[in-house]
Amino acid sequence: MGSGPEFDLVRRMVARWGDLAANIGSDAGRVELPAGEQAVASTDSAIEGVHFKRQWLSPREIARRATVAALSDLAAAAVTPRAVLLALGLPEELRDVVEEIADGVGAAVREAGPHARIIGGDLTRSPHLVLGLTVIGSGAQPLGRAGARPGDAIYVTGVLGGPQQAIEAWERGDVPTAWARDRFAAPRARIAEALWLRERGAVAAIDISDGLSSELAHLAAASGCEFRIDVTRIPRPAGISWQSAVRGGEEYELVVVVRGDLDVDAFARAFGVPLTRIGVVRASEVGRVIATEDGARVDLPGGHDHFSR
């Protein structure tokens, strides 16, 4: 890299990443994939005022969370993360904390497994903090959204409702509970969990970034099947309604469709989070989601849509 303030900032970030960075300095990064594996790529953005407010989180939390959001798409595909690229729009007043931003990205990449490396990106001055993450993974048989068939079981990882509860508290001017704040500020990409699930019969998956109701609808539409959901089984803590748990996004848990049943106790022992069966796939002429509560049909609230009004 040449001289100048822009490249000095890049050098400061690379110094924080250490062995997590690979071949930084070229305009394009190189990714080597194991023989017989397919590449899977995804990109995600975290924009100040849209996805977060700076007063809610530290710079490190913002950066780690943005990176996890992108890596979560690789978890949904059940592939191994290989490369991360960061496009950073940096306000002038945050130049002094660029190391904290680098630390957040690095923490998420390190959590993603031993093969993930930061291979490049872009840096520009911006009036607002913006992080664009591109991630590349590989796998022999990546999961998609299609693939469900009648008789399959529908599972969800984790416990839902925390991020929505935290956002609602902040918007009221309150302090969220420690659990809710942690669920929003420190999500995890369920990479290892997804690989475990794929090995045990998962045939389709999606991560919960826009709300469980939206993600179920995507899976049902892609597979052309009916997803029959029991809302009383949706995993959530006491005090959070199933409506709130279904509506809220920013979860980064997984919804998976599986042939047969899974050992939920073994999953909980392996990963320290629950795995809950919430429904079944049935034949249908169109892809749709049917929700019931104590046997009676109920309407699911819509999930997040950036362009809805």
Give me the sheet containing 226-230, strands edge to edge.
202-207, 254-258, 153-157, 275-282, 226-230, 288-293, 296-298
Residues 176 and 75 in one domain: no
Q: Are residues 135 and 262 in the same domain?
A: no
Of 139, 172, 192, the residue at which a domain comes to its end is 139
Which of 177-193 are b and which e, b meaning 16 or more Cβ less than 10 Å from the residue's Cβ?
eeebbebbbebbbbbeb
Where in the sequence is the domain holding 233, given as residue range(s)?
153-298
| Alpha carbon distance 66, 47 (integer Å) | 9
For position 64, which CATH number holds? 3.30.1330.10
**What sign does the dihedral 91-96-100-102 (CA atoms) show?**
positive
> Mean of the per-residue pLDDT values for the chain?
93
At 144 the pLDDT is 96
What is the Cα–Cα distance from 34 to 99, expressed in whole angstroms? Answer: 32
User: What residue type is 11 in one-letter code?
Assistant: R
Question: Which CATH number covers residue 191?
Answer: 3.90.650.10
Q: Is residue 42 in a domain? A: yes
Percent of the chain's residues with pLDDT above 90: 85
- The whole-angstrom separation of Cα 168 and Cα 249 is 12
Q: Are residues 159 and 283 in the same domain?
A: yes
Q: What is the pLDDT of residues 73-103, one digit of tens each?
A: 999 999 999 999 999 999 999 999 999 999 9
Residue 221 pLDDT: 97
When computed from its CA atoms, the radius of gyration of the chain, rounded to whole angstroms, is: 20
The pLDDT of residue 234: 97
Does 145 reside within a domain? no
Q: Is 58 contained in some domain? A: yes
Q: Are residues 112 and 171 in the same domain?
A: no
The pLDDT value recorded for residue 3 is 63
Number of domains the chain is built from: 2
Domain boundary among 80, 111, 139: 139
Alpha-carbon 209 to chain mean position: 6
For the sheet containing 80-90, what is the strand order?
Answer: 38-47, 130-139, 80-90, 117-125
- Interval 215-263: pLDDT, tens: 999 999 999 999 999 999 999 999 899 999 998 889 999 999 999 899 9
174 and 121 housed in the same domain: no
Question: Are 159 and 253 in a shared domain?
Answer: yes
Report the percentage of the chain scoring pLDDT > 70.
96
Same domain, 94 and 212: no
99 and 172 co-located in one domain: no
Helix (H, G, I), strand (E, B) or coil at 280: strand
Residue 213: Cβ within 10 Å count:
24
Coil vs helix vs strand at 150: coil
Q: Is residue 306 part of a domain?
A: no
pLDDT of 29 over the 50 cut? yes
78 & 130 share domain: yes
DSSP conformation letters of 199-246? HTTEEEEEE-SS-HHHHHHHHHHHHT-EEEEEGGGS---TT--HHHHH
pLDDT band for position 6 (50/70/90)? Answer: confident
